Amino acid sequence: MKMFLKIFLTLVCVWSFAMDGYAQVKVIDNKGSFKFIDSSKWTLSGINIFNKNTGNVGIGTNNPLTKFHTNGTIRFQGLGTNTSDNNILTTDGSGNVTTRGLSNLLSGSAITSLNGLTGSVQTFSIGSTGTDFNIVSAASNHTFNLPSSSAANRGLLTSGDWTIFNNKENNITAGTTSQYWRGDKTWQTLNTSVVPEGTSLYFTNARARTSISLTTTGSSGVATYNNSTGVFNIPNYNTIDSTTASNGINLVSKDIRLGGNLTQNTTITNNSQSLTFATGGSALNITGLPSGTTNDSIVTVNNGLIRKIANTFIPALLEIYDAVGTQTLNTSFSDLTFGTNNIADAGYTVGGSGSQVTIVNAGTYRITYRATVNVTNNKSSGGEFKMLRNGTTVPGTLGYTYQHNSDRLQGTVTVVKLLTIAASDVIKIQGRRYSSAGNLTLTAEGSSLIIERLK
């Protein structure tokens, strides 16, 4: 087989002629001798010769797996070129040669479009149009534009601009708060001996204080200031007009005093509110006061001084009571309900159907509670009661009753307690049955809660 391949590869010329009705092929072997090839294996077609073998041809291998199988290198020489074909030869892992379209080969693994251009040959160029860096792609060319920087353009620093920037001052190292930047480009301590003040004086606290003066020219008008001389003028308001003087009003130091009986009514107005001092009588007669409300203060006179008592110190009373008397006491403490209001001044809020009282204002209070209970099943029993402030038992407020049977069926406990109350404190009274099997019920009209504001 190897000799056959050598003869095939060293083929120099082919002759064909008719003999006995079939073609003979003569070739020259590697020794220069003519040889005839069996026409059953080879066929002439014009100037072409081809093998009739329907199997595979192997070079460098005795086991060809394809029509043409080589085991070694392959060289093609004298091949033509073109620009229209777009198929290329490819091989798989076993060396099998096939053709594949270029676009199919590059799909998904190569650049097929650059900034929208798909040409096989593309070029790059440089420009300077626009107000910022930009790329213009057209036809098969990409132009990179980098404009020169200006007030409107963001771009390339020109040589002219560089010269300007390069001639600027270097970074100035910070000095201290007592220094200034001098003309010789150095930090220096501010000193009037070095930098004369001239007519423009430096500011100092002492100079500012001595440059201002006060006068009291005139007796009326508004106070004034002259920013040229630094003079404040406050008129000497020490006189009273004749009409007012005739009413016995005198100015003594900073006080306005009534020096005698008023000859006519005198009215003082402030923020649209008028206060009138009336004539006649031996006591101070004031009219024109507006009507008061529940939140107003009380005014008292002590040694001629008028004083105000805040409304939070006005005594206030509260009394609520149980008019029904149907509440039953169990072995656990529960709130007593005083469902009827007798007196309820401002400063108290009754809630929970009469089971609690919120005291609005802080102060000192006297709190009294009374509870009357009776046995309803002819058995002995005992009642226990206490006062709570904000859910906590108030010390010294426990009270007890004891009922023997229907023969002595009622009992009453009364407890009085003085307390310093904070604003919005909540007061409750609780009771329970603490012994024996008798059923205890509050007696109608027999239980109450009284709260008095002392100070």
Domain boundaries, given as residue ranges, for the chain = 2-70, 317-453
Per-residue pLDDT tens over the stretch 178-211: 888 888 888 988 776 677 777 777 777 888 888 8
What is the C-alpha separation between 102 and 99, in angstroms, rounded? 9
Give the residue from 1, 53, 3 showing the smallest Cα distance to 27: 3
407 φ, ψ (degrees, to nearest 5):
-75, -35
DSSP β-ladder status, 286-287 and 410-421: unpaired
pLDDT > 90 fraction of the chain, expressed in percent and rounded: 31
Q: Does the pTM exceed 0.85?
A: no
Cβ–Cβ contacts within 10 Å for residue 29, how many?
16
Higher pLDDT, 253 or 411: 411
Higher pLDDT, 350 or 284: 350
What is the C-alpha separation between 58 and 1, in angstroms, rounded? 10
Under CATH, which number does the domain 317-453 receive? 2.60.120.40
DSSP β-ladder status, 68-70 and 57-59: parallel
Collapsing DSSP states into helix, strand and coil, what is residue 230?
coil
Per-residue pLDDT tens over the stretch 402-444: 877 767 778 899 999 999 999 999 999 999 998 767 788 999 9
Instruction: State how far the alpha carbon of 190 is from the alpha carbons of 182, 196, 202, 207, in Å.
Output: 10, 10, 11, 17
Residue indicated by tokens 């149907």: 326
Range 26-54 average pLDDT: 72
Which pLDDT value is given to residue 204? 79
pLDDT > 70 fraction of the chain, expressed in percent and rounded: 73
Range 213-220 average pLDDT: 88
Higher pLDDT, 170 or 318: 318
